[in-house]
Copies of this chain bind each other. A is one copy, B any other.
Amino acid sequence: MRSEKISEYTVRRLSHYFRFLADFEAAGKATVSSGNLAEKGGWTSAQVRKDLSLFGSFGKRGLGYSVPELRARIAEILGLGRRWKVCLVGAGKLGSALFRYEGFRNQGFDFMAVFDNDPRKIGRRRGAVTVEDVARLGDVVVAEGIEIGIIATPAESAQKVADTMVEAGIEAILNFAPLNLVLPSHVSLHNVRMLIELESLSFALTNKEVDITRS
């Protein structure tokens, strides 16, 4: 258990297990087997057991895993036993969609501030917060102790925004701008590239005879 290296794939699957466990809990199931979890996500039961065994021995042989207990353990592993302070840069349609999505708040991610560089947007309300001038980004991150930054700006401004975030102490960035950010290695970066997803689909439709491995 708790080896030195954990793959990004394992982390993503843990997120899925976490959701499935919520479903099982809502359905009143007290225990689940690795097979129950596996079939919900299209994996093998061995995969599920391997993933979990990296963090401990949570199951009972012959019985499976206690739903509430495993759920709590995964929450702990993923760092969901607390709330995270998030800021968003870019108050356009995409930014607004992210801001309004209740799922983030429900899972412990609080939008403490929203920034934009458009004077027509600055000062506007977005739920409980007011859109601020992006010039104040660094100061607000420091003052509020913001830990995660979300970038939903055009590509042109994204690197500068990211640099400001990092300078202010942010160590985790979720980037929706269509470019490859260059960041120091201590900063965790995840990119959401919607055009690349569409292009993957275009490839699949164009090359139906080709086997595409791993989805």
Residues of A within 8 A of B (CB): 4-9, 11-12, 14-16, 18-19, 40-42, 77-80, 84, 86, 92-94, 96-98, 100-101, 103-104, 107-109, 147-148, 171-174, 178, 180, 188-190, 192-207, 210-215
Structural contact, A212 and B104, CB atoms closer than 8 A: no
Which residues of chain B have C-beta atoms less than 8 A from A109's C-beta? 198, 202
Contact with A11, one of B148, B171, B180, B212 (Cβ below 8 angstroms):
B212
Tell me how far the C-beta of A147 lies from the nearest C-beta in chain B, rounded to whole angstroms. Answer: 6
Docked pose: A41 CA to B208 CA in angstroms: 27
Given A7-B212, A180-B42, do A12 and B200 touch, yes or no (CB 8 Å)?
yes
Q: Which residues of B contact A93 (CB under 8 A)?
A: 93, 96-97, 100
Sampled A-B contacts (25; CB under 8 Å): A4-B210, A5-B210, A6-B211, A8-B200, A8-B215, A9-B214, A12-B196, A14-B203, A15-B196, A16-B196, A77-B203, A78-B202, A79-B199, A79-B202, A79-B206, A84-B198, A104-B195, A107-B195, A148-B198, A148-B202, A173-B201, A174-B201, A189-B215, A190-B200, A190-B215
